[in-house]
Amino acid sequence: MREEDLDPIKVATFFNSLDSRCQPLIAPHGFRGHAVLRILASHKEVWWDSSIMNWDKKPNYPPLCYPEEGSWVDTRLDRNKRINYVTAHTSMYNPRSFSKYPLQHVIDYYNKQGSLQSFIYCTLDFIYHMSRPCVWLYTSDMHAIVKQRYLLFKKDYIRHPNEYAKDRLKLMRNPHNKAFNIDIYKLFSTNDDIFESEYMNIVNHFNFTSNINDVRSFMLTYLEREQSVSIL
């Protein structure tokens, strides 16, 4: 078993506990998983609760609205401020260690008669165990993504070199045949037409009510932040 392999018993328990209306959003490190979760949750058909999904716990805060503090990461944590500036963290992340909180949030929501779709962000390793509908983030242009997020990838490669093994890099560059695929190169493109085409694929697949103006505004701000950090 490789170091990065998940415990199959824990995986099975996790999926058995996850309501069918909640889809795993599976993404490699640095592929803007939290940002995509926020984009999905900005549609009225999707459950969002800022009082549990944002670190500051402020209620009724839209998923695409930047906080007054300027960062979606707990400012009390000892993290690189420039990295925090280009991330859009939520509490809905399920790592290899199987944090109990995001799953429990989903369970509690549906136990209280919640009826909307929902998403939970999972690390790349879950794609090896996937046997249910899910969302997979990949890129058709790895060079462009690394260039946009150079500082993040540079630090992540030093800390987590196993994340960039050949088999994992191959996964990152390709759609998955058992998932709904989102190309983050296209979704976060500076070209309006390329962005719109990828965004409308999402809207049509999930039968969302389009929220294109708010999503595009959020993305452009997000990309501006990435660019400013890259320049520095």
Per-residue pLDDT reduced to its tens digit, 174-218: 999 999 999 999 999 999 999 999 999 999 999 999 999 999 999
Query: What is the total count of domains within the chain?
Result: 1
Domain boundaries, position 106: 8-231
Residue 139 and residue 145 in contact, taking contact as beta carbons nearer than 8 Å: yes
Query: Would 1 be classed as within a structural domain?
Result: no
Say yes or no to pLDDT of 142 above 80.
yes
Query: Would 155 be classed as within a structural domain?
Result: yes
- Whole-prediction pTM value? 0.91
Q: Say what the pLDDT of residue 69 is.
A: 65
Terminal Cα-to-Cα distance of the chain (whole angstroms) = 41
Instruction: Report the amino acid identity of residue 110.
Output: Y
Query: Would 22 be classed as within a structural domain?
Result: yes
Query: Tokens 């990065």 — which residue?
Result: 4
Query: Would 101 be classed as within a structural domain?
Result: yes
Q: Say what the pLDDT of residue 179 is.
A: 97
Query: Would 18 be classed as within a structural domain?
Result: yes
Query: Would 120 be classed as within a structural domain?
Result: yes
Q: ∠136-110-23 over CA atoms, to 5°?
A: 5
Query: Would 222 be classed as within a structural domain?
Result: yes
Tell me how far CA of residue 198 lies from CA of 16, 17, 131, 193, in angstroms: 31, 31, 25, 9
Query: Would 173 be classed as within a structural domain?
Result: yes
Residue 111 and residue 22 in contact, taking contact as beta carbons nearer than 8 Å: no
Mean pLDDT of the chain: 89
